[in-house]
Amino acid sequence: MAKDIGIDLGTANVLINVKGKGIVLNEPSVVAVDTQTGRVLAVGSEAYKMVGRTPSNIRAIRPLKDGVIADFDMTEQMLSYFIKKLNVKGVMSKPAILICCPTNTTDIERKAIRQAAEKSGGGEVYLEEEPKVAAVGAGLDIFQPYGNMIIDIGGGTSDIAVLSLGDIVISRSLRNAGDKLNANIANYVRQEYGLVIGEHTAEKIKIEIGSVIEGHRDKEMTVRGRDVVSGLPKSIRITSDETVAAMSDTMDAMIAATKEVLSETPPELASDIIDRGIVITGGGALLDGIEALFAQELTIPVMIADTPLDDVAVGSGKLLEHLEQLKKHK
């Protein structure tokens, strides 16, 4: 018999949760293609190693951009590859798939996600909104009549939502998230030092020395890249406080959106949130100083989820247990 699966189809990573087994796959959302023949050469971790390092006839494509499908065929090929790898199909049956998407996805984008999942070998396909699934994965009891607030900062989108009685009461989805922060760092290094760096290097700076509060982290690292003027390799030193400046505009946008959501939250739920605090999840939750920054700006307690990178995938596994209820919402 086919095993039902939950998929966190992220801009940066795809995580798959097989019912009864937990998270069995976690790979980058990248496909490497030979542009001359159209043949897929590698998917996931193998393809990720090729980003920014390929000859002209090979392209490493990220088929999702800002949380939505930018390249339908590549998304389908990527999902097919992962699903085949897991061997979850039954002899006569196909697995039910629960797949997560950002809150502001349009009907056309949802249709594309559903079609990609069906074409890649799924049976019934259910779509759930990411912050709801992340909240379940983070251990929040969203089915009770009180307010919970979650900020899910992924690679392509940041979803901010207030939940009560099993559903989203109010939400915002921003195309400001991990990828945008990497781009902020790359732009800063180019403007301040005349040095061109790749996506991998920018992400490495963010993870290893990055911070969102001045003076919160005191680290520096050597960064190598290409000099804008001479075109030759060059290296510079960059500090944690410089990354605060680089990422400040994007962080300000996230805080402004969170304030908007809070200002539109019904008063009863707002008082619950003041009592219970806000939970931050997703890869962005790992940014140094992020809970302190949000707590300082919002004057509400802020906590980081225990397993921020896995929450959407874990939540999709928990929701698979309630497929009957999901069928009503489908």
Cα separation, 202 vs 179, in Å, equals 10
Give kind and range of the element (H or E) at residue 290: helix 290-298
Radius of gyration of the chain (CA): 20
Give kind and range of the element (H or E) at residue 107: helix 107-119
Distance from chain centroid for Cα 66: 9
Name residue 99's amino acid.
I
Binding region for ATP: 11-13, 155-157, 203-206, 283-286
Q: Number of C-alpha atoms within 13 angstroms, CB side, residue 55?
A: 4
Tokens standing for residue 252:
């300000």
Binding region: 11-13, 155-157, 203-206, 283-286
Residue position matching structure tokens 């490493």: 60
Strands (E), 215-295: 220-227, 233-239, 278-281
